[in-house]
Amino acid sequence: MIRDKKVTVVLPAYNAEPTLEITYNEIPFDIVDEVILVDDLSSDNTLQKANELGIKHLVKHTENKGYGGNQKSCYNKALELNSDIVVMLHPDYQYTPKLIHSFCYLIANEVFDVVLGSRILGKGALKGGMPAYKYIANRLLTFTQNILMNQKLSEYHTGYRAFSRKVLTTIHYNSNSDDFVFDNQMLAQIFYAGFEIAEITCPTKYFEEASSINISRSIKYGLGVLGVSLQYFLQKTHLGKFKIFNPADESDSIRKTS
């Protein structure tokens, strides 16, 4: 807890058994009050490992809902627990939990409502082993997105994020895709709602156990990302209207997880 604000870390998990323990052990429990793990029908022993580690808030999907669907369950459960600050941390140990302090203090001190861990600021991405084609695609997509959305983020594609409760109860994230484009839809919603986003340099690791998507899924993701940015542009210029930009009240955001 920071300044009487409850801090919750959510772990969207899929086959995270090999890396869950090392990730969990680096979570700073001097400020983190709750940990939620949502298992998206893993085929390994992710849930058993979570139980062994003593993670008490476990949500098991009875069907694979995808990366976006997993996050919806994470945030809905975090709001149900009356969390004030929610940190989304991948349990594959690609991102270090040691930055959670920095994320949370920016939000607790009401400097920003959203904090992203950027792999692009500095040299974290290539140094950590990001494939060259992914790095180039990241830079090209981000450049195009910044133009369409009139923003200046260093990247839109990081999976390390922290949000205030106000953000999660304002945007309509439950209307988003269940696939990987969910992340970019959230950022578009956040900007549209008028929130500012901070970025912190974040080292990253690419190794066999770290989650990743193949080239065909990457292409689908890239096209989806551009589509979201175009929707944002059309919505802001009053040339179109899209339901993901509808506001959400708290009762709509807190839904039963399964």
Q: Give the list of residues 6+ apart from residue 116 with CB closer than 8 angstroms, or none.
A: 153, 155, 158, 160, 161, 197, 198, 199, 200
- Taking the C-alpha atoms of residue 257 and residue 75, their distance in angstroms, rounded to an integer, is 10
- Taking the C-alpha atoms of residue 224 and residue 180, their distance in angstroms, rounded to an integer, is 9
pLDDT higher at 54 or 125: 54
Q: What is the mean pLDDT of residues 39-46?
A: 97
pTM for the structure as a whole = 0.91
Q: Give the list of residues 6+ apart from residue 248 with CB closer than 8 angstroms, or none.
A: 169, 170, 171, 172, 173, 174, 175
> What tokens appear for 135 in the block?
């790095």
Place of tokens 């989650």: 211
Structural domains of the chain sorted by starting position, each given as residue range(s) with its CATH number in brackets: 7-247 (3.90.550.10)
Q: What is the mean pLDDT of residues 9-13?
A: 98
pLDDT of residue 211: 56
Q: pLDDT digit string (tens) for 170-228? A: 999 999 999 999 999 999 999 999 999 999 999 887 655 555 567 778 889 999 999 99
Q: Would you say 53 and 36 are in contact if contact means Cβ atoms under 8 Å apart?
A: no
Place of tokens 């910044």: 146
pLDDT at residue 258 is higher than 50: no
